[in-house]
């Protein structure tokens, strides 16, 4: 058992998926696709003489997030210039917020194996993205190519306090925040495309200590998997350094996917002086309280609230509820299925969704909205299993057909004659037929080989082509076995 506690904070950059850029009317396009420099205006190219103008929709998106995270909103916030030279930074400065961010002091509640935890959010601010630099070699010459499609795209930076103490908690927060962003319709949550960038900072301290150790930051993690692996690796690496009496160097690290190790990118000693000062081209961003209130009132039920409601209302386990609420459409599908009838067992509906439906969606690439399967029909199917009309294996087959055709389970069962045999007379006849056909086994059973009961059960079920109501069959088999003893 390690004697250190990890102390982890996250800095998340989320692209606000607006139609146009943060400070001009150039469109926001998928910068991982298509030709470079197709979404560039004089403003986003940093041409001289042109000026930034605030995209109000981006501010609205940012406010939705800040309000959903329960932040204190600054009715007056200030854009500042963050200066540094880099070929992908057209103006030589990035317009960001520094001393007076849009929002502070928020929180997001997560659930881990340790229970519920409130993660404090230090600040939420708006800034613009940079372009992208690609290094290429052609005819032995090295070139750097600059693509400014991304330059000026609105970003929201969301910074937590160092409240996370395990990879599991980081994962819960990251997924939880992504769900919030998706619910609010501001970000689709794609890490691979860089729409969501998660940068953890991590230090270790002796368990029980309140002091903070020296921290490292990890950048360029483009999936949840690399986030978790890089963190696990870094916890282990720092543990070893400390155990061997060494010191942690404060530095920025990257993740080497091939070697599965963190690697230093630049050390903080070389950290730049960004020379922040208020952006003179933009007046302070002043918000009307009434507008803020309006946006707050328009927020949807948020994922964690929904998760707790599902736990309460449907007696679901936290983990299962969490899976259902991660995607708003899935949660809605679940509730629509539950609405199909009075006494549907929620646990079973949830199992079908997170089991068969998810794996189908995984294979087909469909989203839940794309499915031909109607949620009410899933509810009905679950009820048919509960009431014994069909058994589980049959139901799986029926579901496959429902996914393919969108037809109701009743239609499919009717067409294929798949209804479960619950006629006691029919079951009685099948049981006596099987017992009569196997006198040796019956004798062995009575001689004490009781496990043969299961064998008889299987034989009858085979005769019934799997459609016998298992409870009725078992009762009838037990009755006939004990009667045949005399």
Partner 1 sequence: MGDFTNLTLIEARDALRQGDFSSRQLTQAYLDRITAIDKGIKAYLTVLSDEVLQAADEADRRLQAGEELPLLGVPLAIKDLLTIEGVRTTCASRILENFDPAYTATAVQRLLDAGAIVLGKTNMDEFAMGSSTENSAYQTTHNPWDVERVPGGTSGGSAAAVAARLAPAALGTDTGGSVRQPASFCGVTGLKPTYGRISRYGLIAFGSSLDSVGPIGHTAEDVALLFSLMAGHDPRDATSMDKTVPDMQLTETNSIKGLRVGVPKEYFIKGIQPEVESAVRAAIAELEAQGAEIVEVSLPHTQYAVPVYYIIAPAEASANLARFDGVRYGLRVESDDYIDMFKQTRGQGFGPEVKRRIMLGTYALSAGYYDAYYGQAQKVRRLIQDDFIQAFEQVDVIATPVAPTTAFRIGEHSDDPLEMYLQDIFTLPGSLAGVPGLAFPVGFDENNLPIGMQLIGPHFGEAKLFEAAHVYQQATDWHQQQPQLNISK
CA dist 402 and 389 (Å) reads: 17
Decide: is 146 part of the binding site for partner 1 (CB under 8 A).
yes
Query: How many amino acids of this chain bind partner 1 (CB under 8 A)?
Result: 30
Decide: is 287 part of the binding site for partner 1 (CB under 8 A).
no
Nearer to partner 1, 58 or 350 (CB): 58
Nearer to partner 1, 87 or 439 (CB): 87
Nearer to partner 1, 115 or 280 (CB): 280
Decide: is 38 part of the binding site for partner 1 (CB under 8 A).
no
Decide: is 284 part of the binding site for partner 1 (CB under 8 A).
no
Contacts of 265 (CB under 8 A, 6+ apart): 219, 251, 252, 253, 254
User: Least CB distance from residue 252 to partner 1, whole Å?
Assistant: 18
Decide: is 81 part of the binding site for partner 1 (CB under 8 A).
yes
User: Least CB distance from residue 282 to partner 1, whole Å?
Assistant: 5
CA dist 79 and 98 (Å) reads: 7
Decide: is 91 part of the binding site for partner 1 (CB under 8 A).
yes
Decide: is 261 part of the binding site for partner 1 (CB under 8 A).
no
Q: Which of 282, 292, 311, 376 binds partner 1 (CB under 8 A)?
A: 282
Q: Which of 30, 38, 53, 249 binds partner 1 (CB under 8 A)?
A: 53
- Cβ atoms of 460 and 473 within 8 Å: the answer is yes
Give the pair of three-digit tokens for residue 73: 């909103």
- Cβ atoms of 271 and 296 within 8 Å: the answer is no
Contacts of 305 (CB under 8 A, 6+ apart): none
Choices 11-19, 69-77, 219-227, 280-288; region in contact with partner 1 by CB under 8 A: 280-288
Decide: is 83 part of the binding site for partner 1 (CB under 8 A).
yes
Nearer to partner 1, 85 or 259 (CB): 85
Choices 49-57, 340-348, 397-405, 463-471; region in contact with partner 1 by CB under 8 A: 49-57
HSE at residue 464, side-chain half, CA atoms within 13 A, is: 31
Decide: is 120 part of the binding site for partner 1 (CB under 8 A).
no
Tell whether the torsion through CA atoms of 292, 298, 300 and 305 is positive or negative.
positive
Write phi, then psi, for 281 (nearest 5 degrees): -80, -10
Decide: is 52 part of the binding site for partner 1 (CB under 8 A).
yes
- Cβ atoms of 349 and 432 within 8 Å: the answer is no
Decide: is 35 part of the binding site for partner 1 (CB under 8 A).
no
Taking the CB of residue 118, how many other CB atoms lie within 10 A of it?
Answer: 11
User: Least CB distance from residue 220 to partner 1, whole Å?
Assistant: 20
Nearest to 480 by CA among 448, 446, 449, 451: 446
Decide: is 90 part of the binding site for partner 1 (CB under 8 A).
yes
CA dist 378 and 364 (Å) reads: 18
Give the pair of three-digit tokens for residue 210: 């309140």
Decide: is 245 part of the binding site for partner 1 (CB under 8 A).
no
Decide: is 139 part of the binding site for partner 1 (CB under 8 A).
no
Q: Which residue has the tokens 């189908």?
A: 360
Q: Which residues sit at the interface with partner 1, rule CB under 8 A?
A: 42, 45-54, 81, 83, 85-87, 90-93, 144, 146, 273, 275-277, 280-283
């Amino acid at each position: 058992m390690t004697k250190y506690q990890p102390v982890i904070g996250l800095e998340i950059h989320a692209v606000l998926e607006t139609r146009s850029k943060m400070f001009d009317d150039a469109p926001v396009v998928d910068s991982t696709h298509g030709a470079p420099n197709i979404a560039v205006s004089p403003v986003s190219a940093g041409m001289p003489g042109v000026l930034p103008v605030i995209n109000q929709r981006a501010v609205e998106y940012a406010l939705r997030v800040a309000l959903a995270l329960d932040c204190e909103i600054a009715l007056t916030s200030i854009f500042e210039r963050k200066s540094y030279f880099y070929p992908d930074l057209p103006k030589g400065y990035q317009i960001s917020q520094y001393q007076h961010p849009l929002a502070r002091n928020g929180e997001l509640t997560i659930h881990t194996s340790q229970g519920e935890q409130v993660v404090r959010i230090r600040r939420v601010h708006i800034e613009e993205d940079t372009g992208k630099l690609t290094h290429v070699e052609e005819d032995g010459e090295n070139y750097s190519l600059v693509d400014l499609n991304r330059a000026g795209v609105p970003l929201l930076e969301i910074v937590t306090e160092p409240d996370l103490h395990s990879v599991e908690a980081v994962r819960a927060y990251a997924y939880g925040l992504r769900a919030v962003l998706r619910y609010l319709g501001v970000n689709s949550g794609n890490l691979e495309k860089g729409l969501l960038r998660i940068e953890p900072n991590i230090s270790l301290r002796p368990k029980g200590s309140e002091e903070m150790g020296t921290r490292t930051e990890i950048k360029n993690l483009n999936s949840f998997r690399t986030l978790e692996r890089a963190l696990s690796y870094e916890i282990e690496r720092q543990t070893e350094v400390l155990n061997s009496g060494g010191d942690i160097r404060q530095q920025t690290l990257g993740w080497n996917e091939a070697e599965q190790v963190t690697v230093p990118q630049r050390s903080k000693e070389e950290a730049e002086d960004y020379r922040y000062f208020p952006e003179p081209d933009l007046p302070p961003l002043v918000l009307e309280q009434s507008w803020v209130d309006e946006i707050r009132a328009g927020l949807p039920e948020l994922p964690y609230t929904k998760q707790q409601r599902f736990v309460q209302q449907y007696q679901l386990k936290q983990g299962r509820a969490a899976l259902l609420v991660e995607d708003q459409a899935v949660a809605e599908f679940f509730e629509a299925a539950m609405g199909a009838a009075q006494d549907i067992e929620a646990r079973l509906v949830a199992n079908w969704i997170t089991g068969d439906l998810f794996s189908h969606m995984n294979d087909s690439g469909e989203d839940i909205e794309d499915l031909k399967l109607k949620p009410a029909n899933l509810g009905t199917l679950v009820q048919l299993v509960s009431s014994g009309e069909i058994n589980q294996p049959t139901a799986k087959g029926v579901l496959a057909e429902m996914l393919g055709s969108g037809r109701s389970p009743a239609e499919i069962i009717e067409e294929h004659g798949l209804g479960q045999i619950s006629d006691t007379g029919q079951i009685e006849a099948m049981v006596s037929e099987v017992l009569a056909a196997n006198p040796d086994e019956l004798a062995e059973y009575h001689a004490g080989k009781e496990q043969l009961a299961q064998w008889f059960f299987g034989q009858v079920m085979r005769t019934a082509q799997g459609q016998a109501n298992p409870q009725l069959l078992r009762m009838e088999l037990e009755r006939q076995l004990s009667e045949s003893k005399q």
